[in-house]
Structure 1
């Protein structure tokens, strides 16, 4: 029987955010808590019970065995205070925002979910990198960019998983679905989900005769005036068309939309050169994977981590231009047998990203 370890987990994005990265991080936390003493470290406050409930409800996870506590990491506390705090852990698991710190844990694991295109130069940063014993990324795309820019070896690709028992198909309706937070990307390196492009393309399809179909966009609005303004522009463009926008959908509602939707659109990375701006394309794509498990056929931008999920022409379509998005979608709408077959292939493909494989890789890294 494996020895119980004391494990600390830290992400600078917790507890403010609840996107795909946080879903991954909380999934790691849940699995480790089944057999280890696990503590989630919070640098920005937050009531323990409120944080637990937020992520349990958002991601349908059981975090009841996880401790939550305030940490000096990520604060203005002294270097000594921060580094001594890390010494109490057998394992420290850090989801980085690109920054690094020293840790005295017995084993330090660095998860890199962004394909950061900057150099970790200087002696101190190189020593900090050396301090992290094991590095892993969320996709082969992120791994390639990190190895290229950071000049390190990334031995593990730790793909997020989808629970195929949780995301199951129902009777399909004439719905095109897209799931993703609303943010402009203007003031950050984050990848805008490009709901504006999807609304534009759907409007054009309706104007050219598409009838009976509805576009549903689900996603919260990130804090910030630019993000609110972006969401407002999308809403304005959608007026007068069969387009539904939901900013506060519950998990059950989201799951139901996945189940009944026939097609899934994803436009993050549209018009971006992934070599020049890798952070602005989809690094992995957990929402498309959840849709695929529900037999919604993915029609997604062929960039970044999405190319690792969707097999073009088999379990969905990859596109680069608005014309290709329109044409691929029209093919499915006009051919019910193709839609049904691809939906089934999409669900089979989603099973490759299983919880069992996720757990196996995680246990290998933990040691």
Structure 2
């Protein structure tokens, strides 16, 4: 079967690209003819080094936007759209849309504008001939309509988590089945060889939305130190671009004089070493956000959480959205809702090495649910149902 996998952001090597690359690799390995669609040729060697995915058996075709991707989809049997916020219409025989998150819910004002625009457009779209002035009004109303009819061009919609699937059900005229992203396991050490706390996630300035809240974790650790934390250390690890430079500099200034290490844009090997050396994994995505107004600002799945668990870290996650779905509170990790809960639970776990060891082993077992093998089997089942 001829398959096309569409991603406008291959070169960012983010979580979405990790999933889309895994989809392409899996289907190529299964014998399908796979073409990667995107604005620039995919760097196969960089993809292997950065994300651990082998796309050497895939072809490439340039598409620069949704319209070009839609046109390209007509040339394949199965079109898989993994581009965040894409509205490309599928023209292949079968279509699969992989949702990383559907969209930001409209405000009351936006909903009112959309309703008025929709009603006005329906009236003006009826007459076959309109004066030029009214044609301009009609076209203006069309731009303000919320048109999700493109969803119906897809045979199936898959979501990266139950959290995302719930928002698909609320915001789009369809239901989504959950297809969890694959996570490459990290071979762990015994808990006796571990110490300290690590947090892994991109550094995003709060002004730009999806912030991982490393500043909250930094403040939490300083409060632990104030109460006496001994040799306990915190490592904040992640990538950053120029847009988040001020945010990173602020973290580094705040870390001065504390046992806190801020590591930016480090090699993958160092990330793995940090995860293998830490006893606890902290995650704060979503804290301080409004779930009803900004569900996109929460962690939609949590690849870094699963990676940490596979390495044997005990995850301590803000108890909402994707991470709360992955981590079973009190079994293979901890849910927290306030900084005070985080620091208290941290002290309690570090003071109970036997419980820490049990939870570490449980975390490693839980992480196997999100293995490459599980993903491949689930994806092949979806494709088999379509064809």
Same fold (TM over 0.5): yes
Aligned partners of 1:92 and 1:109 also within 8 Å = yes
Contact 2:73 2:91 in 1 (8 A): yes
Which stretch has the larger CA shift, 249-258 or 283-292?
Answer: 249-258
Larger relative helix fraction: 2
Is 1:352–2:352 an aligned residue pair?
no
Aligned residue number for residue 334 of structure 1:
351
2:207 is the counterpart of 1:212: no
Between the aligned partners of 2:196 and 2:45, the Cα distance in structure 1 is 31
Moved more, 327-336 or 354-363: 354-363
**CA positional deviation for 1:112:** 0.8
Conserved 8 A contact 1:91-1:108:
yes
Match of 2:256 in 1: 239
Of 58, 73, 76, which aligns to 1:66? 58
Deviations 1:87-126 (A, max 9, x none): 1111111113223122211111101111523369768834
Instruction: Answer yes or no: is the 8 Å Cα contact 1:192–1:280 preserved in 2.
Output: yes
* Cα separation, 1, equivalents of 2:69 and 2:227: 61
Q: Do the aligned residues in 1 keep the contact of 2:8 with 2:65 (CA within 8 Å)?
A: no
The residue number in structure 2 matching 1:140 is 162
| Equivalent in 175, 199, 203 of residue 218 of structure 2 | 199
Q: Which residue of 2 aligns with 1:168?
A: 188
Distance 1:244 1:82 in 2: 43
Q: TM-score, normalised by structure 1?
A: 0.89
Cα 1:192–1:124, aligned 2, differ >3 Å: closer, same or farther? Answer: closer
Structure 2 alignment gaps of length 5 or more: 119-144
DSSP-derived class of the 2:280 partner: strand
Which one has the largest radius of gyration? 2
Equivalent position of 1:30 in the other structure: 25
Contact 1:168–1:293 (Cα < 8 Å) also in 2: yes
Compared CA separation, residues 222 and 360, structure 1 to 2 (3 A) = same
Q: State the distance in 2 between where 1:358 and 1:223 align.
A: 34
Shift in Å at residue 358 of structure 1?
A: 0.9
* Aligned partners of 1:315 and 1:349 also within 8 Å: yes
Distance (whole Å) between structure 2 residues aligned to residue 246 and residue 126 of structure 1: 41
Contact 2:213 2:287 (C-alpha < 8 Å) held by counterparts: yes
Q: Which residue of 2 aligns with 1:273?
A: 290
TM-score of the superposed pair, with normalisation by structure 2: 0.84
Aligned residue-pair number: 347
Using the alignment, how far apart are the partners of 1:60 and 1:83 within structure 2? 28
**Unmatched 5+ stretches in structure 1:** none
- Residue 117 (structure 1) aligns with: 104
